[in-house]
Structure 1
Amino acid sequence: MRIEVRLIRGQDNIIVEADLVKLAQKHVDDYISRWKDKLTLYEQEDKFWDWEFKLQFVINRQPNREGYAIEYEGETQGLMLIETQMHGSRLVEGKRLVYIDGIASAPSNRQILQRPPRLKGVGSVLLAFARTRSIELGYEGRVGLHSLPGVEKFYESQGMIDLGEDEDYDDLVYFEYGVRRSPT
């Protein structure tokens, strides 16, 4: 699977083509060798995420888990882990959704760490793909996630609905996309 996606190069705002692919060991290796030290140095909240474990023991062993990466010029720019069968919507009782169990952009793409960021739009592209998977699975575009502190405004800017802190999930704020309506 390889889907061409568009990102924006931060230095000159030129649209560039990247690839959204299934998560593979190469992406985990990039995370370990190119991301981890910077995430730790700059005290990013996802610095302890273990993408090696997510790939080997979650995605590769659980059919309801899927992992994806965005590549540009041979380097991993974004990572996402989703769950596709066991989560229900909080907006529409009894309806399933795609749950984002982890989503991350490379440190060089984070405006808080680098101005201008190397690439803009990585998180937005991953969120849009999660909605696409939701539609493919018959969930009408419903997607949910718990946000790390400090990125809630990003999810709000993407049109996700803030459903408040979740005491069962370390008081992280839960966000959800509702049904995606077709243009008429």
Structure 2
Amino acid sequence: MLLNAATNSPVDYYFREVGKEEVKDNRYLPDYGWEFNWLYPVSHDFKVFGLVTDHNPDIVEGLIALKENPDEDFLCVDVDIIESSPQNKKFIKGVLNQERSYLNVGRVLIAFACWYSIEKGYDGYVGLTSKSSKYPFYESLGARLTYGQHFMFDDIAAERLVKIYFPGGVVWWQEPS
């Protein structure tokens, strides 16, 4: 679950698709504290999804870029980029971030990728390439190193994560009427 970093209490969270204009307007770019340039995936046929809360749904707490991989040798959902927003990073330039807004953003984003894979008919299989510093994180969630720096979440790991983080399914952000 997503936790408020100050109170350690659970927070309701939602997802919404993020397009190119939002990336440009909200500056999800390295010059603004993001590690990755989020224009790349939205310009290369990846779907980008933002994690938001009802406290401030205009601010994404994390982003994930996904693409279906229907190749018979893979049959999974590929993660291009996954990133907590600057206000939710555990470390900023090697220094512990004492001002984090939310905890578990990365876990929720990975669980979302697993849910997305199930919804799209890939049985929860999710593939991604990881930095070596993130190996323990992905392994703790049930991913297996398959080759090089490539990790795979299988159907068992995906089902477990979806049950933990989305017991009632993913909730999509709806603008209040």
TM-score relative to the length of structure 2: 0.73
Out of 56, 62, 81, the position equivalent to 1:102 is 81
Q: Which has the higher contact order (CA 8 A, sep 6+)?
A: 2
Separation in 2 of the partners of 1:158 and 1:10? Answer: 20
Alignment of 1:111-122 (within 5 A): 111-113=90-92, 114-115=97-98, 117-122=100-105
Give the equivalent residue in structure 1 for 2:22.
26
Alignment of 1:80-91 (within 5 A): 80-86=64-70
Q: Deviations over 1:93-114 (max 9, x none)?
A: x450111011111122121231
Structure 1 residue ranges, 4+ long, deviating more than 6 angstroms after superposition? none
Q: Percent identity?
A: 24
Gaps of 5+ in 2: 161-177
Displacement of 1:27 = 4.4
Structure with the higher fraction of residues in strand conformation: 1
Gaps of 5+ in 1: 1-5, 40-46, 60-64, 89-93, 166-172
Measured on the aligned residues, the alpha-carbon RMSD in Å equals 2.4
The letter for the 2-side match of 1:9 is N
Give the equivalent residue in structure 2 for 1:58.
44
Give the equivalent residue in structure 1 for 2:49.
68
Displacement of 1:117 = 2.5
Q: Is the 8 A contact 1:144 1:175 kept in 2?
A: yes
Displacement of 1:19 = 2.0
